[in-house]
């Protein structure tokens, strides 16, 4: 299953990928005007408008003794799309683990286990509010489908250029991170000196107070 999906995404079979990609985009775009039930019904009717006449044609050839009784879609009928017990268990385990991971991450972010991660999550949610104003979930799904079928082909053709851009971005990110760490270390190292200067000032004020008190007692004794 995964290998077939990779074949579709990487356009290893151009005709099959073109049919699947065009069908997905057209079906998703149809949902802007029609309901999902209507779109699904029209898809099934369109398929049957092709398969039903072809099946009748082969049946007619069989009656005329021009066809030895072959079914035009026997290959699709013989294709075993069922899952074995082991594959079913593995699939259910993966789904359960994915759901459990999502719930754990949401709890960690919502209940502030890590302040930095929660702040990033808040920033993401705030940006998504603006995304929701300008677009819809269906538009994002269509965009994701287009990116899924376009980016692997683009990466395959522009692999060297994309890797160069990624290396430049990583170097810039490393420089910014090092600069932030240096600023943080500088501020952190300057804190003890500030505390020491504050303690020195307090000692100076105490010594000045003691000197004034001694001078006053000396004046009173005179």
pLDDT band at 2, cuts 50/70/90? low
Q: Which residues contact 67 (CB under 8 A, 6 or more apart)?
A: 58, 61
Q: Are 73 and 51 in contact (CB under 8 A)?
A: yes
**pLDDT single digits (tens) 6-28:** 778 888 888 888 888 898 998 88
Q: What tokens appear for 117 in the block?
A: 């991660």
**pLDDT single digits (tens) 58-117:** 888 888 877 777 788 888 888 777 777 888 888 899 999 999 999 999 999 999 888 888
Model pTM score: 0.60
- 135 backbone dihedrals φ, ψ, rounded to 5°: -150, 175
Q: What tokens appear for 62 in the block?
A: 């069989």
- CA-to-CA distance for 181 and 129, rounded, in angstroms? 32
67 secondary structure, DSSP code:
S
Tell me what percent of the residues of the chain surpass a pLDDT of 90.
Answer: 18
Give the model's pLDDT for residue 16: 84
- pLDDT surpassing 70 at residue 216: no
- CA-to-CA distance for 3 and 12, rounded, in angstroms? 11
Give the model's pLDDT for residue 101: 94
**pLDDT single digits (tens) 140-176:** 899 999 988 888 888 888 888 888 888 898 889 888 8
């Amino acid at each position: 299953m995964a290998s077939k999906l990779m074949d579709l995404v990487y356009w290893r079979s151009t005709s099959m990928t073109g049919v699947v990609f065009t069908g997905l985009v057209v079906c998703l775009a149809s949902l802007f005007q029609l309901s999902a039930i209507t779109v699904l019904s029209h898809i099934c009717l369109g398929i049957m408008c092709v398969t039903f006449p072809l099946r009748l044609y082969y049946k007619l050839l069989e009656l005329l003794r021009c066809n030895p009784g072959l079914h035009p879609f026997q290959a699709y009928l013989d294709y075993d799309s069922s899952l074995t017990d082991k594959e079913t268990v593995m699939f259910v385990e993966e789904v359960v683990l994915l759901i459990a991971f999502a719930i754990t991450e949401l709890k960690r972010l919502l209940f502030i286990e890590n302040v930095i991660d929660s702040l990033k999550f808040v920033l993401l949610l705030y940006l998504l509010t603006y995304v929701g104003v300008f677009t819809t979930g269906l538009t994002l799904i269509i965009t994701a489908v287009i990116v899924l079928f376009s980016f692997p082909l683009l990466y395959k053709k522009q692999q060297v250029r994309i890797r160069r851009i990624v290396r430049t971005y990583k170097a810039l990110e490393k420089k910014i991170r090092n600069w932030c760490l240096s600023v943080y270390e500088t501020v952190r190292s300057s804190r003890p000196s500030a505390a020491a200067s504050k303690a020195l000032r307090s000692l100076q004020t105490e010594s000045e107070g003691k000197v004034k008190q001694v001078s006053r007692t000396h004046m009173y004794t005179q």
